[in-house]
Amino acid sequence: MAITTVDVLNCLRQMADVIHENKEYLTDLDSAIGDADHGINMDRGFQAILKKLPSVEDKDAGTILKTAGMALVSSVGGAAGPLYGTAFMQAGMAIAGKYELEAEDLLAILDAALKGVIMRGRANLADKTMVDAITPAVNVIREALGNGAGTVEVLEQAAAAAKKGMKDTIPMLAKKGRASYLGERSIGHQDPGATSSYLLINTMAEMARVKE
């Protein structure tokens, strides 16, 4: 099952809905170990994406993702802006010129996004960040592709792995970002960035499920 640019546009719109619905939840998570703005900032960023989408409706999937990334960089601020912005821009570059995406392209997208996040934020696995949700997703996609899985299966496994990765941040001691200043007090809280990463990956899976 190929994913079209219409699907990509719909997925971004659905991501905006999901982020909006979870705005308070993400902000509450951030209140506990950060500065109480993650949901607010992500919501502003995805609303900015929605405004840009009409201008790229006839463009390739790579251009659509790059445009979304630039909208995030110039509207989110904080650490999430450069991190998600870079992730979307790198993902867009990985599928530049494509109008239809196959299961392998999903690996290219998430792998490029992860590398972008690591390049910009220099976080390692288990630092209690977005990286902890995205890395397991990329790993299972790679494995699932090797076993010949299709788009839906690949994304469902990725969402499950991201969810586990997100939950796994709870006992972690934060080593990056504002939560790192809390030292031991960051333990016992779920990372807001890992949570938004899971929500976005899960939205991709839902999009594929509905399409099927």
Partner 1 sequence: MKKLINKPEDVVKEELEGLALAYPDIVKVHFDPDYVYRADAPVKGKVALISGGGSGHEPMHGGLVGLGMLDGACPGQVFTSPTPDQMLEAAKMVHGGAGVLYIVKNYTGDVMNFEMAADMARSEGIRVLSILIDDDTAVKDSTWTAGRRGVGTTVLAEKIVGAAAEKGYDLKKLADLCRKVNINGRSMGMALTSCTVPMAGKPTFDLPEDEMEIGVGIHGEPGRERMSLKTADEITEMLALSIIDDPAYSRTVRELDEEKGEWVDVTLEDPPFKAGDQVLAFVNNMGGSAAVELPIIYRKLHEICEKKGLKIVRNLIGPYITSLEMQGCSITLLKMDDELLELWDAPVKTIGMRWGI
Contact (CB, 8 A) for 145 and 188: no
User: How far is it, in rounded angstroms, from Cα 111 to Cα 96?
Assistant: 14
Residue 41 Cβ, how far from partner 1 at the closest point, in Å?
Answer: 6
Contact 88, 67 (CB under 8 A): no
CA dist., res. 36 & res. 100, Å (int): 38
Q: Which residues contact 99 (CB under 8 A, 6 or more apart)?
A: 4, 5, 60, 61
To partner 1, the closest distance from the beta carbon of 191 in angstroms equals 13
Smallest gap, in angstroms, from Cβ of residue 85 to partner 1? 8
31 binds partner 1 (CB under 8 A): yes
Using the rule CB under 8 A, is 51 a contact of partner 1?
no
**Between residues 110 and 117, which has the closer beta carbon with respect to partner 1?**
117
Stretch that binds partner 1, among 7-15, 57-65, 68-76, 137-145 (CB under 8 A): 68-76
Task: Give residues 83-112 in contact with partner 1 (rule: CB under 8 A).
Answer: 83
173 binds partner 1 (CB under 8 A): yes
**Cα distance between residue 34 and residue 192, in whole Å:** 9
Are 40 and 48 spatial neighbours (Cβ–Cβ below 8 Å)? no
Provide φ and ψ at 158, rounded to 5°.
-65, -45
Nearer to partner 1 among residue 53 and residue 130 (C-beta): 130
- Binders of partner 1: how many residues, by CB under 8 A? 33
Query: Which helix (H) or strand (E) element contains residue 113?
Result: helix 103-121
Tell me the window of 13-21, 26-34, 51-59, 200-208 that interacts with partner 1 (CB under 8 A).
26-34
Footprint on this chain of partner 1 (rule: CB under 8 A): 27, 31, 33-37, 40-41, 44, 73-83, 120-121, 173, 175-178, 180-183, 185
